[in-house]
Amino acid sequence: MRQAARPMGCCAFRPSLRAQGQRVGKHRIARLMRQMGLQAKGRRRFKTTTRRAETHRRVANRLAGDFTATQPNEKWLSDITYIATHEGWLYLAGIQDVFSRRIVGWAMSDRPTKTLVCDAWKLAVGRYGAPRLHHSDQGSQYTSDDYLRLLENDHVTLSMSDVGRCYDNAMQESFWGTLKTECADRPFPTRAAARKAIFEYIEVWYNRQRRHSALGYLSPAEFEQLACP
């Protein structure tokens, strides 16, 4: 149980244990977690990490709060967050597929530049192809000519949150909260240590193993396998 134990609640543990052939109730799981010193952690509130450009092309909010999709690559969400280390901030750009909540692309850098978001996009498209719609905030990184040119070359429909409306990108904000609760709840000693931990969290744990109640307690990889065999 300790091996599977990230800082999640007993309800999130239960499907993982059942998949291993262990049928236990949530009250017993809660009792065992207390005995083992495991405690689910609440999420912290986070501040914005992107700045709106003084002048940029206006893009409508075509997502319009509809966080549903019927297939992969229908809608992607992008955002930047920051990770604390004793060497300074490490900035993380992520792209999430609305259909399965898979993190399809990501990149890390010491600075929150347009290159950071471009690198995340190139990784995502190189792996999965381009989506129909891409949603982000109006930060200068996402409204830069370099980034918009990448999306337009891939014939992607653009969507951006209204100014000051972080809830317009609520699903991606929720992922940041999950990552910081389960992986980055305290400063890392170095940026290199943070990079390693975040890579393992996204690629080994979150995409392949972490179960979501919204996906019927399946991981993103399991959900995609069942929905798109």
Q: Is residue 214 part of a domain?
A: yes
Residues ≥6 apart with Cβ < 8 Å to 18: none
Residue 97 near residue 84, CB atoms below 8 Å: no
SS3 category, 85: strand
Contacts of 213 (CB under 8 A, 6+ apart): 11, 12
Q: Based on the domain organization, do 122 and 219 belong to the same domain?
A: yes
pLDDT tens digits for range 109-160: 999 999 999 999 999 999 999 999 999 999 999 999 999 999 999 999 999 9
pTM above 0.85, yes or no: no
Listed in sequence order, the residues at least 6 apart from 3 whose beta carbon sits closer than 8 Å to its beta carbon are none
Q: Which residue range forms the structural domain that includes residue 28?
A: 1-40
199 shares its domain with 142: yes
pLDDT in tens, 192-205: 999 999 999 999 99
DSSP, res 44: P
Query: Within this chain, do residues 106 and 215 fall inside the same structural domain, yes or no?
Result: yes
- Tokens 């091996």 label which residue? 3
